[in-house]
Structure 1
Amino acid sequence: MIRISAAIMHHPRRAHRIPSLLRACAPLEPAVVPDPEPDGRPSPLRTAKRAWAAIDDGATHHLVLQDDVRLAPGFAAQLRDAIAGRPAHGVSSFCLWHTPHNSYLVRRAAVAGAAYAPLSPYEWTPTQAFVLPVEHARALADYLAGIPDEVQDDDEMVVIFCRERGIPVVTTVPHLMDHGHAESLVEGHSDGLRATVFTPDRRWPVDHPSADLELPPGTCTVALQDSVCSIRLMHGDPVEHEFGWYWYDACPLAGVDPEEVLDAAAPHLSGLPARAVPAMTEVWAACYLLGVDVARSAPSSAGPGPLMPAAVESWIDQGLTRRDHRELRGDCVRLALEAVRQGMGERRFADAT
């Protein structure tokens, strides 16, 4: 039987959020773990050390939440179901929509109709709402206790801990929470704090046709940033670097001919205003490559999963420049959905022949 212990990492500046967050966690009863130095330099790690040690007796799994999250309705029951499906894993309920690898892996799982997305063992682990089996949670608390608070970021330490101990980590698709604030207390963490796929009106995993499907990470991920599509290597490229390989040049790394991508796009781009073509070509490339990846990784999938529109729309919202978003957003979404479908269908046909 799953028994979940819970703790909330809390900063006094957010005291007004605690009552509603506790109600949203019910019937879980999280311990509220305050920052021991609230006037010191911001350090999630400082509070995370104590939150991971605040484990209830008799628990099988321990959840640590941050105090700036917005939980989906029925969070506790959905989380229990998610843990029951992966009881030996680390389970996250959230992933930022612009992370270099993990956000792509979430979108990939959403398009395939999967209820879990495997997360990268090299990119920081989303720790806004993270669960571990208690034996790992205790070990993590001991591990974090030996790291100076000045290191600051708990998520970068958690991924190292899980990788070194061989703990697989997944996130729920859709996520069970979104970020509740536009800004973070930590400098440099204040932009784009949104979930990759958050659909609070859709319960996990009832609406998923392939709830047990878990896609293996590929060798590449696709990014859309500032209206430019790029490809990043899952292994070899430092996660922290800000630049990917331009998609046309890097397509061979993904096993795709770039001219195939452009040929498929041509009928959809012809007749568009010249102003729209550059950005919409990049959107087509990103989403077509995503469709190809899903078709290759999940060949038994009957078609795009029900969360595909949400995953694609969040990619468009995150990936366009402000001007392109203002002027082209609707057209880009329609084009993106068609690109994913064609990438999935045409790659299946090509592989079959």
Structure 2
Amino acid sequence: MRVSSAVMTHPVRLEQARDLAARLRLDGLALDPDPDGPPSALRTALVAWAAADARASHHLVVQDDVSAPPELTALVGRAADRFPDEALVFYTNWHARNGGAARLAALAGATWVRAVPDEFTPSLAVCLPVGTAEEFRRFADGSTERHDDELFSVFFRARGRMSLIAVPNVVEHIGTSSINGHAAQGIRLAVCPMDAADAAPLLERGRVLEEPGWIPYMRYGEGYVRLVGQERAADGGRGHHRWRDALPATGLAEEAVREAVVDAMPKELAADVAHRFGWAFAEELWIHCLLLGRQAAGAARRLGDGPGGPPADALARMREAAVATAGPAGLPPERRPEAGPDEVRLMAAFAWTAVSEGERLPQE
């Protein structure tokens, strides 16, 4: 496989983009063709996808506000060789539904997960077969949509196949500014950050979770559940279902969840989390991770033990990385800066008690 590449950027970040392209040895820059016009990531994305080399099999587009290791293009090339016909996504936001799917997959021992159809496709680092890149460019040309991540999902849904998301993230978002209007979301980081040495064998030999079932996720301090088939709702599935309202569709009774809270939630850890972030958040985080552990255990059983998989220690570090982001990702944006290293460790320890208890909940 031969992968060409481009960094999509705006003149206000030109030096940052040049530095990124040089460090990662990417082929070039794709500049916003109308930098004084209304903000539009899609406008620049069309330039980036049109930059695919005719001699390449795949094309990688990276946004300018990321960090990544020098091995990125090699990792992407090997992933494209393994999945030559797939759209591959190498970064996922820690608080999105797709972030919830990736966190669940990590706990189940999968290193790739199929994206959900009712949410934007994270577009900070995407690799497409060159034919698919050209199809997307033609599909998007003339669209009034300004968000490339939203239009990606419309495109993939029409094709009947969503992207494959890399669970270990070697690409990380940097900064909190947003040319395209996302600054209100605050700190936005990867769901499962890992270094390239661990990520390489995971991405090359790890299993794919095609259908995670219902997906617990947190946003703005509250727990939600993405239901199976939610995309068929009248609103396209974009609505958010609080976990209490969604429970009847999951096969779990609220009584079982409440019993677990009373019997198994560690009081001292809960009090420490509540002291920093409030009791309501502590309880929501624990229940979210309880549901996450339950779903991950079921997914792991469905996946089974595949031969010749990646190293067990790398899989364990992937699980740790995914759980470590659950707490800070679940906080409201204005409170995420309060989650320093000590708070992250505290919330991770608290989250693991819930995941472990969730693994013991009955399956459907």
Q: TM-score, normalised by structure 1?
A: 0.86
Q: How do 1:263-342 and structure 2 match up within 5 A?
A: 263-265=259-261, 266-270=263-267, 273=271, 277-299=279-301, 305-321=316-332, 322=335, 330-342=345-357
Task: Using the TM superposition, give the Cα deviation of residue 298 of structure 1 relative to its aligned residue in structure 2, in angstroms.
Answer: 2.1
Equivalent position of 1:8 in the other structure: 7
Q: Which moved more, 1:253-262 or 1:7-16?
A: 253-262
* Contact 1:111–1:306, Cα closer than 8 Å, also in 2: no
* Cα distance change of structure 1 residues 182 and 202 upon mapping to structure 2, 3 Å threshold: farther
Q: Deviations over 1:44-77 (max 9, x none)?
A: 1111112111111211111111111111341111
User: Residues 119 and 238 of structure 2 are in contact (CA less than 8 Å); yes or no, is this contact kept in structure 1?
Assistant: no
- CA 1:24–1:117 in 2, change beyond 3 Å: closer, same or farther? farther
Partner SS for 1:244: coil
Does the CA-based 8 Å contact 1:107-1:311 persist in structure 2? yes
Gaps of 5+ in 2: 306-311
- The answer to whether the 8 A contact 2:40-2:180 is kept is yes
**2:177 is the alignment partner of 1:193:** no
The answer (yes or no) to whether the contact 2:18–2:29 under 8 Å persists in 1 is no
The 3 A distance-change label for structure 1 pair 80 and 244 is: same
CA distance in 2, matches of 1:11, 1:107: 32
Q: In structure 2, the residue corresponding to 1:64 is in which secondary structure?
A: strand
Higher fraction of helix: 2
| Cα displacement string for residues 87-129 of structure 1 (whole angstroms, at most 9, x for unaligned residues) | 1110011111122x21111101111221212111231111111
Identity of aligned residues (%): 29
1 CA distance for matches of 2:19 and 2:194?
20
After superposition, the Cα gap between the structure-2 partners of 1:74 and 1:319, relative to the gap in structure 1 and judged at 3 Å, is: same
* 1:205 has 2:200 as partner: yes
Partner of 2:109: 113
> What is the alpha-carbon distance in structure 1 between the residues aligned to residue 65 and residue 13 of structure 2?
8
1:62 aligns with 2:59: yes
Counterpart position of 1:260: 256
**1:63 partner SS:** strand
Q: 1:239: Cα distance to partner? A: 6.6
Q: Is 1:102 equivalent to 2:98 in the alignment?
A: yes
Give secondary structure in 2 for the equivalent of 1:204.
Answer: helix
Q: CA deviation at 1:11?
A: 0.8
Structure 1, 227-236 or 324-333: larger mean CA deviation: 324-333
Q: Quote the offset at 1:277 in angstroms.
A: 4.9
- State which of 151, 160, 175 in structure 2 corresponds to 1:157: 151
Matched residue pairs, number? 341
Q: Kindly indicate whether the alpha-carbon contact (under 8 Å) linking 2:90 and 2:126 is maintained by their aligned counterparts in 1.
A: yes
The structure 2 residue matched to 1:30, chosen from 27, 32, 39, is 27
Gapped runs of 5+ residues in structure 1? none
TM-score of the aligned structures, taking structure 2 as reference length: 0.84
Correspondent of 2:129 among 129, 133, 139: 133
**What's the C-alpha RMSD, in Å, of the aligned pairs?**
2.8
Question: Which residue type is aligned with residue 285 of structure 1?
Answer: I
Distance 1:201 1:50, change over 3 A: closer
